[in-house]
Protein backbone atom coordinates (compact mmCIF):
# COMPACT_ATOMS: atom_id res chain seq x y z
CA UNK A 1 0.00 0.00 0.00
CA UNK A 2 1.01 3.60 -0.62
CA UNK A 3 0.29 6.46 1.78
CA UNK A 4 0.39 10.26 1.53
CA UNK A 5 0.94 12.25 4.74
CA UNK A 6 -0.70 15.53 3.77
CA UNK A 7 0.40 18.72 5.58
CA UNK A 8 -0.62 22.33 5.13
CA UNK A 9 0.81 23.80 8.35
CA UNK A 10 3.77 22.88 10.59
CA UNK A 11 1.55 21.60 13.40
CA UNK A 12 0.65 18.68 11.14
CA UNK A 13 4.19 17.28 11.30
CA UNK A 14 3.89 16.02 14.88
CA UNK A 15 0.40 14.67 14.21
CA UNK A 16 1.51 12.56 11.27
CA UNK A 17 4.93 11.42 12.51
CA UNK A 18 3.57 8.46 14.55
CA UNK A 19 1.67 7.31 11.45
CA UNK A 20 4.88 7.44 9.43
CA UNK A 21 6.52 5.21 12.05
CA UNK A 22 3.64 2.72 11.88
CA UNK A 23 3.72 2.68 8.06
CA UNK A 24 7.49 2.04 8.08
CA UNK A 25 7.07 -0.75 10.61
CA UNK A 26 4.66 -2.52 8.24
CA UNK A 27 6.90 -2.06 5.23
CA UNK A 28 4.52 0.15 3.26
CA UNK A 29 5.49 3.04 1.01
CA UNK A 30 4.76 6.68 1.92
CA UNK A 31 5.25 10.26 0.77
CA UNK A 32 4.94 13.45 2.80
CA UNK A 33 3.38 16.50 1.16
CA UNK A 34 3.99 20.04 2.40
CA UNK A 35 3.73 23.45 0.71
CA UNK A 36 7.09 24.97 -0.21
CA UNK A 37 6.56 27.89 2.19
CA UNK A 38 6.81 25.59 5.22
CA UNK A 39 9.60 23.37 3.90
CA UNK A 40 12.17 25.06 6.14
CA UNK A 41 10.11 24.04 9.17
CA UNK A 42 10.02 20.38 8.17
CA UNK A 43 12.13 18.44 10.65
CA UNK A 44 12.10 15.11 8.82
CA UNK A 45 13.99 15.92 5.62
CA UNK A 46 15.50 12.43 5.55
CA UNK A 47 11.98 11.13 4.92
CA UNK A 48 10.40 10.93 1.48
CA UNK A 49 8.63 14.22 0.87
CA UNK A 50 7.54 16.58 -1.88
CA UNK A 51 6.22 20.11 -2.23
CA UNK A 52 4.64 19.34 -5.61
CA UNK A 53 0.98 18.39 -6.15
CA UNK A 54 2.05 16.94 -9.51
CA UNK A 55 4.23 14.44 -7.65
CA UNK A 56 1.19 13.35 -5.63
CA UNK A 57 -0.80 12.79 -8.80
CA UNK A 58 1.86 10.55 -10.32
CA UNK A 59 2.37 8.76 -6.97
CA UNK A 60 -1.22 7.36 -7.09
CA UNK A 61 -1.56 6.60 -3.40
CA UNK A 62 -4.01 4.20 -1.79
CA UNK A 63 -4.56 6.39 1.29
CA UNK A 64 -4.19 10.11 2.09
CA UNK A 65 -4.05 11.01 5.80
CA UNK A 66 -5.16 14.63 6.31
CA UNK A 67 -5.02 16.53 9.64
CA UNK A 68 -6.62 19.57 7.99
CA UNK A 69 -9.90 20.75 6.49
CA UNK A 70 -9.34 20.01 2.83
CA UNK A 71 -7.48 17.86 0.32
CA UNK A 72 -7.45 18.00 -3.49
CA UNK A 73 -10.37 15.93 -4.70
CA UNK A 74 -8.49 14.92 -7.85
CA UNK A 75 -5.78 12.98 -6.00
CA UNK A 76 -5.98 9.20 -6.06
CA UNK A 77 -6.52 7.56 -2.69
CA UNK A 78 -8.91 7.08 0.20
CA UNK A 79 -9.13 10.55 1.72
CA UNK A 80 -8.98 10.24 5.49
CA UNK A 81 -9.76 13.05 7.96
CA UNK A 82 -7.69 12.60 11.12
CA UNK A 83 -8.15 16.12 12.63
CA UNK A 84 -5.71 18.68 13.97
CA UNK A 85 -7.05 19.02 17.51
CA UNK A 86 -9.49 17.91 20.18
CA UNK A 87 -11.50 21.12 20.59
CA UNK A 88 -14.91 20.15 19.22
CA UNK A 89 -16.28 23.58 20.06
CA UNK A 90 -14.01 25.25 17.50
CA UNK A 91 -15.86 26.69 14.52
CA UNK A 92 -16.05 24.19 11.70
CA UNK A 93 -14.92 21.09 13.62
CA UNK A 94 -18.10 19.21 12.72
CA UNK A 95 -18.60 20.88 9.36
CA UNK A 96 -18.83 18.41 6.49
CA UNK A 97 -17.02 19.73 3.42
CA UNK A 98 -17.41 16.53 1.35
CA UNK A 99 -13.68 16.00 0.76
CA UNK A 100 -13.32 12.86 2.89
CA UNK A 101 -14.24 9.20 2.53
CA UNK A 102 -13.37 8.20 6.08
CA UNK A 103 -13.27 10.00 9.43
CA UNK A 104 -11.03 8.49 12.11
CA UNK A 105 -12.25 9.82 15.44
CA UNK A 106 -10.51 10.19 18.79
CA UNK A 107 -13.24 9.23 21.27
CA UNK A 108 -17.02 8.87 21.82
CA UNK A 109 -17.66 12.64 21.97
CA UNK A 110 -16.49 12.96 18.36
CA UNK A 111 -17.54 9.54 17.12
CA UNK A 112 -21.20 9.93 18.07
CA UNK A 113 -21.53 13.32 16.37
CA UNK A 114 -19.80 12.22 13.16
CA UNK A 115 -21.82 9.01 12.96
CA UNK A 116 -24.99 11.10 13.09
CA UNK A 117 -23.60 13.25 10.28
CA UNK A 118 -22.64 10.13 8.30
CA UNK A 119 -26.28 9.01 8.38
CA UNK A 120 -27.30 12.42 7.04
CA UNK A 121 -24.73 12.80 4.26
CA UNK A 122 -24.30 9.13 3.32
CA UNK A 123 -20.95 9.72 1.63
CA UNK A 124 -18.39 8.85 4.30
CA UNK A 125 -17.74 6.33 7.07
CA UNK A 126 -16.61 6.81 10.66
CA UNK A 127 -14.28 4.64 12.74
CA UNK A 128 -13.08 5.39 16.28
CA UNK A 129 -9.35 4.76 16.56
CA UNK A 130 -7.88 7.33 18.93
CA UNK A 131 -5.54 10.06 17.68
CA UNK A 132 -2.12 9.23 16.28
CA UNK A 133 -0.45 12.37 17.66
CA UNK A 134 -1.11 11.17 21.20
CA UNK A 135 0.81 7.91 20.79
CA UNK A 136 3.94 9.81 21.84
CA UNK A 137 2.18 11.68 24.65
CA UNK A 138 2.04 8.61 26.87
CA UNK A 139 5.63 7.56 26.22
CA UNK A 140 7.74 9.79 28.44
CA UNK A 141 11.38 9.11 27.63
CA UNK A 142 14.31 9.11 30.02
CA UNK A 143 15.66 12.11 28.11
CA UNK A 144 12.45 14.08 28.70
CA UNK A 145 12.49 13.28 32.41
CA UNK A 146 16.09 14.51 32.58
CA UNK A 147 15.15 17.73 30.79
CA UNK A 148 12.58 18.46 33.49
CA UNK A 149 14.94 17.60 36.32
CA UNK A 150 17.62 19.88 34.86
CA UNK A 151 15.20 22.78 34.40
CA UNK A 152 13.98 22.49 37.98
CA UNK A 153 17.51 22.27 39.33
CA UNK A 154 18.96 25.04 37.17
CA UNK A 155 16.21 27.52 38.05
CA UNK A 156 15.80 26.36 41.66
CA UNK A 157 12.05 25.87 41.23
CA UNK A 158 9.54 23.17 42.11
CA UNK A 159 6.89 23.61 39.40
CA UNK A 160 6.76 24.25 35.66
CA UNK A 161 3.79 26.14 34.22
CA UNK A 162 3.12 25.93 30.48
CA UNK A 163 1.29 28.84 28.87
CA UNK A 164 -0.15 27.80 25.50
CA UNK A 165 -2.72 30.28 24.14
CA UNK A 166 -4.64 29.90 20.91
CA UNK A 167 -4.02 32.32 18.02
CA UNK A 168 -7.57 33.37 17.12
CA UNK A 169 -7.97 37.13 17.83
CA UNK A 170 -11.44 36.57 19.30
CA UNK A 171 -10.34 33.73 21.58
CA UNK A 172 -6.70 34.28 22.52
CA UNK A 173 -5.79 35.30 26.06
CA UNK A 174 -2.26 36.40 25.13
CA UNK A 175 -2.79 40.20 25.15
CA UNK A 176 -4.70 40.06 28.45
CA UNK A 177 -2.36 37.77 30.38
CA UNK A 178 1.08 39.19 29.61
CA UNK A 179 1.39 40.93 32.99
CA UNK A 180 0.11 37.89 34.87
CA UNK A 181 2.45 35.51 33.06
CA UNK A 182 5.31 37.86 33.89
CA UNK A 183 4.28 37.97 37.57
CA UNK A 184 4.02 34.18 37.80
CA UNK A 185 7.55 33.80 36.43
CA UNK A 186 8.81 35.92 39.32
CA UNK A 187 7.45 33.56 41.97
CA UNK A 188 10.22 31.73 43.79
CA UNK A 189 9.11 28.18 42.99
CA UNK A 190 7.82 28.59 39.42
CA UNK A 191 9.29 28.41 35.92
CA UNK A 192 7.00 29.54 33.07
CA UNK A 193 7.35 28.22 29.52
CA UNK A 194 5.39 29.98 26.78
CA UNK A 195 4.49 28.06 23.61
CA UNK A 196 2.70 30.05 20.93
CA UNK A 197 0.60 28.69 18.08
CA UNK A 198 2.18 28.92 14.60
CA UNK A 199 -0.40 31.56 13.65
CA UNK A 200 -0.04 33.83 16.68
CA UNK A 201 0.06 37.56 15.98
CA UNK A 202 3.79 38.40 15.76
CA UNK A 203 3.32 41.72 17.56
CA UNK A 204 1.88 39.88 20.56
CA UNK A 205 4.67 37.32 20.44
CA UNK A 206 7.28 40.07 20.43
CA UNK A 207 5.83 41.58 23.61
CA UNK A 208 6.48 38.28 25.40
CA UNK A 209 9.94 37.98 23.89
CA UNK A 210 10.71 41.42 25.31
CA UNK A 211 10.04 40.22 28.89
CA UNK A 212 11.79 36.85 28.51
CA UNK A 213 14.08 35.84 31.40
CA UNK A 214 15.70 32.67 32.70
CA UNK A 215 12.37 31.89 34.39
CA UNK A 216 10.13 32.95 31.52
CA UNK A 217 11.10 30.96 28.46
CA UNK A 218 9.61 31.33 24.97
CA UNK A 219 9.78 27.87 23.41
CA UNK A 220 10.39 27.34 19.70
CA UNK A 221 9.66 23.62 19.85
CA UNK A 222 7.68 22.48 16.80
CA UNK A 223 6.18 19.59 18.73
CA UNK A 224 4.52 20.58 21.99
CA UNK A 225 4.47 17.00 23.32
CA UNK A 226 7.64 17.26 25.44
CA UNK A 227 6.39 20.51 26.96
CA UNK A 228 3.14 18.83 27.94
CA UNK A 229 5.06 16.00 29.53
CA UNK A 230 7.39 18.14 31.63
CA UNK A 231 4.85 20.74 32.79
CA UNK A 232 2.87 20.53 36.02
CA UNK A 233 0.09 22.96 35.13
CA UNK A 234 -1.19 24.57 31.94
CA UNK A 235 -2.60 28.05 31.35
CA UNK A 236 -4.59 28.56 28.16
CA UNK A 237 -7.94 29.67 26.71
CA UNK A 238 -10.00 28.04 23.96
CA UNK A 239 -7.16 25.95 22.61
CA UNK A 240 -7.38 22.28 21.68
CA UNK A 241 -4.05 21.67 23.43
CA UNK A 242 -5.96 21.96 26.72
CA UNK A 243 -7.46 18.56 26.04
CA UNK A 244 -4.08 17.02 25.26
CA UNK A 245 -2.79 18.21 28.63
CA UNK A 246 -5.88 16.98 30.45
CA UNK A 247 -5.34 13.51 29.00
CA UNK A 248 -2.29 13.35 31.27
CA UNK A 249 -4.68 14.17 34.15
CA UNK A 250 -2.87 17.37 35.06
CA UNK A 251 -4.47 20.71 36.06
CA UNK A 252 -5.49 23.46 33.66
CA UNK A 253 -6.56 27.08 34.16
CA UNK A 254 -8.19 28.89 31.24
CA UNK A 255 -9.30 32.44 30.62
CA UNK A 256 -12.77 32.73 29.10
CA UNK A 257 -12.81 29.32 27.44
CA UNK A 258 -15.92 28.70 25.36
CA UNK A 259 -15.63 24.93 25.57
CA UNK A 260 -18.92 23.11 26.05
CA UNK A 261 -17.32 20.49 28.30
CA UNK A 262 -15.33 22.41 30.89
CA UNK A 263 -14.05 20.09 33.60
CA UNK A 264 -11.22 22.35 34.70
CA UNK A 265 -10.84 25.79 36.27
CA UNK A 266 -12.10 28.50 33.90
CA UNK A 267 -11.68 32.11 35.04
CA UNK A 268 -13.66 34.96 33.49
CA UNK A 269 -12.09 37.83 35.39
CA UNK A 270 -8.42 38.63 34.79
CA UNK A 271 -8.22 40.23 38.24
CA UNK A 272 -8.71 36.83 39.89
CA UNK A 273 -6.49 34.88 37.54
CA UNK A 274 -3.11 34.95 39.27
CA UNK A 275 -4.50 33.91 42.66
CA UNK A 276 -6.51 31.13 41.04
CA UNK A 277 -3.40 29.73 39.35
CA UNK A 278 -1.40 29.75 42.56
CA UNK A 279 -4.22 28.04 44.46
CA UNK A 280 -4.43 25.27 41.86
CA UNK A 281 -0.65 24.81 41.77
CA UNK A 282 -0.80 23.93 45.45
CA UNK A 283 -4.03 21.88 45.50
CA UNK A 284 -5.60 20.07 42.55
CA UNK A 285 -7.98 17.69 44.36
CA UNK A 286 -11.20 19.35 43.16
CA UNK A 287 -10.60 18.70 39.45
CA UNK A 288 -8.86 15.32 39.49
CA UNK A 289 -12.03 13.24 39.11
CA UNK A 290 -13.66 15.71 36.73
CA UNK A 291 -10.82 15.32 34.26
CA UNK A 292 -11.44 11.59 34.11
CA UNK A 293 -14.79 12.33 32.46
CA UNK A 294 -13.07 14.29 29.71
CA UNK A 295 -10.55 11.50 29.18
CA UNK A 296 -13.31 8.91 28.84
CA UNK A 297 -15.24 10.96 26.27
CA UNK A 298 -12.44 12.59 24.30
CA UNK A 299 -9.66 10.00 24.16
CA UNK A 300 -10.05 6.81 26.21
CA UNK A 301 -6.83 5.29 24.83
CA UNK A 302 -3.52 5.47 26.65
CA UNK A 303 -1.90 2.43 25.02
CA UNK A 304 0.02 4.41 22.35
CA UNK A 305 -1.55 2.25 19.63
CA UNK A 306 -3.83 4.74 17.89
CA UNK A 307 -1.61 4.83 14.78
CA UNK A 308 -1.85 1.07 14.59
CA UNK A 309 -5.65 1.22 14.78
CA UNK A 310 -5.74 3.97 12.14
CA UNK A 311 -3.73 1.99 9.62
CA UNK A 312 -5.86 -1.08 10.37
CA UNK A 313 -8.99 1.02 9.77
CA UNK A 314 -7.94 2.23 6.31
CA UNK A 315 -6.89 -1.28 5.27
CA UNK A 316 -10.32 -2.54 6.32
CA UNK A 317 -12.00 0.34 4.46
CA UNK A 318 -10.06 -0.46 1.29
CA UNK A 319 -10.92 -4.16 1.48
CA UNK A 320 -14.60 -3.26 1.84
CA UNK A 321 -14.91 -0.33 -0.58
CA UNK A 322 -11.72 -0.32 -2.70
CA UNK A 323 -10.17 3.08 -3.51
CA UNK A 324 -12.86 5.60 -4.56
CA UNK A 325 -12.29 6.97 -8.04
CA UNK A 326 -13.95 10.35 -7.44
CA UNK A 327 -15.74 12.58 -4.93
CA UNK A 328 -19.00 14.37 -5.63
CA UNK A 329 -18.26 18.03 -4.96
CA UNK A 330 -20.01 21.32 -5.63
CA UNK A 331 -18.48 23.69 -8.16
CA UNK A 332 -17.67 26.07 -5.30
CA UNK A 333 -15.67 23.39 -3.45
CA UNK A 334 -13.82 22.45 -6.63
CA UNK A 335 -13.05 26.10 -7.31
CA UNK A 336 -11.60 26.53 -3.79
CA UNK A 337 -9.35 23.49 -4.29
CA UNK A 338 -8.13 24.65 -7.70
CA UNK A 339 -7.48 28.13 -6.33
CA UNK A 340 -5.48 26.78 -3.39
CA UNK A 341 -3.55 23.93 -5.03
CA UNK A 342 -3.73 24.75 -8.72
CA UNK A 343 -5.70 23.04 -11.48
CA UNK A 344 -3.65 20.11 -12.73
CA UNK A 345 -4.71 18.71 -16.12
Q: Could you report the per-residue pLDDT of 245-293, keeping only the tens digit for each?
A: 999 999 999 999 988 778 899 999 899 899 999 999 988 888 988 899 8
How confident is the model over 23-41, as a mean pLDDT?
Answer: 96
pLDDT at residue 240, as a whole number: 83
Q: What percent of the chain has pLDDT over 90?
A: 81
By the 8 A CB rule, do 181 and 235 touch? Answer: yes
By the 8 A CB rule, do 185 and 160 touch? Answer: no
Q: Dihedral of CA 106/107/113/115: which sign?
A: positive
Rounded CA-CA distance 124/265 in Å is 37
Architecture of the domain spanning 2-136+304-341: 3-Layer(aba) Sandwich (3.40)
Q: 142-298 falls under which CATH superfamily?
A: CDP-glycerol glycerophosphotransferase, C-terminal domain (3.40.50.12580)
Buried b / exposed e across 186-203, counting CB within 10 Å, b at 16+? ebeebbbbbbbbeebeee
By the 8 A CB rule, do 53 and 81 touch? Answer: no
pLDDT at residue 89, as a whole number: 67
Q: What is the mean pLDDT of the chain?
A: 93
How confident is the model over 81-108, as a mean pLDDT?
Answer: 88
Query: Hey, where are the domains in the chain?
Result: 2-136+304-341, 142-298
pLDDT at residue 113, as a whole number: 96
How confident is the model over 155-162, as a mean pLDDT?
Answer: 96
Residue 74 pLDDT greater than 60, yes or no: yes
Residue 342 pLDDT greater than 90, yes or no: no
Q: What percent of the chain has pLDDT over 70?
A: 98
Q: Could you report the per-residue pLDDT of 33-59, keeping only the tens digit for each?
A: 999 999 999 989 999 999 999 999 999
pLDDT at residue 54, as a whole number: 96
By the 8 A CB rule, do 318 and 62 touch? Answer: yes
pLDDT band at 345 (very low <50, low <70, confident <90, very high): low
- Strands of 102-105's sheet in order across: 49-50, 29-33, 2-6, 63-66, 78-81, 102-105, 125-128
Query: Any idea which of 91-95, 193-197, 265-269, 338-342 has the lowest mean pLDDT?
Result: 91-95
pLDDT at residue 262, as a whole number: 85
pLDDT at residue 283, as a whole number: 85
pLDDT at residue 110, as a whole number: 95
Q: Is 54 helix (H, G, I), strand (E, B) or coil?
A: helix
Q: Identical fold at 2-136+304-341 and 142-298?
A: yes
How confident is the model over 212-221, as a mean pLDDT?
Answer: 94
Residue 199 pLDDT greater than 80, yes or no: yes
Strand partners, 194: 163, 218
Amino acid sequence: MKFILFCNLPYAFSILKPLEQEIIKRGYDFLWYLPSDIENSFAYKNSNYTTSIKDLISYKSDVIFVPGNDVPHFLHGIKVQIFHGLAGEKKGHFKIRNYFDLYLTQGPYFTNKFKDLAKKYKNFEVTQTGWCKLDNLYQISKETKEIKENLLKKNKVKKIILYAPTFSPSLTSAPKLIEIINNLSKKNDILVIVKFHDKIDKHIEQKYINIQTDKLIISNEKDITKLLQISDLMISDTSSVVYEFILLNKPVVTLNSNSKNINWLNIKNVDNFENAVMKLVNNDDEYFEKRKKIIKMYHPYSDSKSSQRMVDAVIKYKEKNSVPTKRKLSLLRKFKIYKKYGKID
